[in-house]
Amino acid sequence: MRKAKDIMLSDGANNAFSSLFAIFIGLLFGFIVLLISNPSEAVQGFTIILKGGFNTNAKGLGQVLYFATPLIMTGLSVGFAFKTGLFNIGAAGQFIMGAFAAVYIGVKWTFLPAPLHWMVAILGAALIGGLWALIPGLMKAYLNVHEVISTIMMNYIGMYMANFLIKATVYDSKKALSMNTAPSSVLPKGGLDYVFYNPLGNGKDLSTVNSGIWIAILIAIVMYIILNKTTFGYELKACGFNKHASRYAGINEKRNIVLSMVIAGALAGVGGALLYLSGANGRHIKVVDVLAVEGFNGIPVALLGLSNPIGIIFSAIFISYITQGGNYMQTLDFVPEVIDIIIACIIYFSAFAFLFRSIVPRILRFRKDKAAANAEAEAASIGAEQTERREKE
């Protein structure tokens, strides 16, 4: 069996402890903010945050999973690109373009029966999201335009393009929203709504969680296998580490850069489909001049999960959990902005997970080397005592 210290020094354990330490520091800083804003209710407010989805009933946990679903996908989008050496800031634009494609298919393609209808809508969202990311991918590969600049610009183009397309195709002028998607395009609940519901609501107050959470988790597992168990994933990561060395090894770095961005865009597009095909309270795309917050929230999710697809699942659920806890804080005497500040603190310190990742192994190795040196010194001392004893005899 492996020793506890060897397990602690493994990459998986190091990543987990680094993220947990970042969460702890973020929560501590958030508690300080609560003390400054309202000392008398700081402890109670902090307790509500820690309870998260447990503040009410099973419905609260269902809401955590519901809001975590698009975060998993946008987190995968950012994390996958980062694993391949790219910083995809364009998840917001890819997300909303994929959402439009899903809603359009959900509204117009009523000739498709369920479950084929919602499956085609998800595939359409992946296609449009991937094509939207293709542009900055080509610019990066062939013109050496930095992907941060190009993806940020594509965010705004995508937002206004989605607004224009919605008004031109699936706009409901009475509600200033997109039209209702057909029932056949709505994701199946899979019985989760009856697992996570409010028992005080006489069976009618059901959670909005649906099978989209399983789809997101399945995609995350597939991404993990691709990145870590396939030659294609190895080539993508190799180009991320050093594109010049990859080219010398015979890897087509331009093709891999483009493919990385396309896959990242497809993941974000699927996130938009999973959110707007949920059928939760008539989910619609609003025609507003605001970038999709799910796209930007995918960045801290990826940072907190250290771009590991499995870690992203847990980090997305955690961010959603904390957000739900923050919503319940409105019952106390806190201004609404305090909730956003606390969540921002936690998200901000999630970026330090990479720093902790390098510090923790050093501390553990230092302690291991020190213990080994002490053991060696003690063995030498015992040997010297035995030699001296034999000489006296």
Residue 62 inside a domain? The answer is yes
Please, how many CA atoms are within 13 Å of residue 59, restricted to the half-sphere of its CB? 13
Instruction: Dump pLDDT digits (tens) for 261-303.
Output: 999 999 999 999 999 998 765 577 888 888 888 998 898 899 8
Instruction: Dump pLDDT digits (tens) for 97-121.
Output: 999 999 999 999 999 998 899 999 9
Tell me the pTM. Answer: 0.87
Residue 379 inside a domain? The answer is no
Strands of 51-196 (E only): list them: 171-172, 177-178
Given a cut of 70, whether residue 53 has pLDDT beyond it is: yes
Residue 37 inside a domain? The answer is no
Predicted local distance difference test score (pLDDT) of residue 281: 56
Instruction: Dump pLDDT digits (tens) for 136-175.
Output: 999 999 998 999 999 999 999 999 999 999 999 999 888 8
Given a cut of 60, whether residue 4 has pLDDT beyond it is: no
Mean pLDDT (the chain, rounded): 84
Q: Which residues contact residue 22 at a Cβ distance below 8 angstroms, ignoring those fewer than 6 apart?
A: 304, 349, 350, 351, 352, 353, 356
Peptide bond preceding 115 in cis form (omega within 30 of 0): yes
Residue 362 inside a domain? The answer is no
Residue 156 inside a domain? The answer is yes
Q: 311-315 long-range contacts, Cβ below 8 Å, gap at least 24? A: 311/15, 311/16, 311/19, 312/72, 312/75, 312/76, 312/79, 312/220, 313/72, 313/216, 313/217, 313/220, 315/19, 315/75, 315/350
Instruction: Dump pLDDT digits (tens) for 22-52.
Output: 788 888 888 888 888 888 888 888 888 888 7
Domain that holds residue 176: 57-335
Given a cut of 50, whether residue 1 has pLDDT beyond it is: no
With residues binned 3-state (H G I as helix, E B as strand, rest as coil), the percentages for the chain, rounded to 5, are 75, 0, 20
Instruction: Dump pLDDT digits (tens) for 298-329.
Output: 988 998 888 899 999 999 999 898 888 877 77
Which class for 150: exposed (0-12), middle (13-18), buried (19 or more C-beta within 10 A)? buried
CATH of the domain at 303: 1.10.3470
Instruction: Dump pLDDT digits (tens) for 354-385.
Output: 666 666 666 666 666 666 666 676 766 766 67
In this structure, are residues 214 and 305 in contact, taking their beta carbons and an 8 Å threshold? Answer: no
Residue 229 inside a domain? The answer is yes
In this structure, are residues 45 and 34 in contact, taking their beta carbons and an 8 Å threshold? Answer: yes
Residue 245 inside a domain? The answer is yes
Residue 15 inside a domain? The answer is no
Number of domains in the chain: 1
**Number of residues that make up the chain:** 393
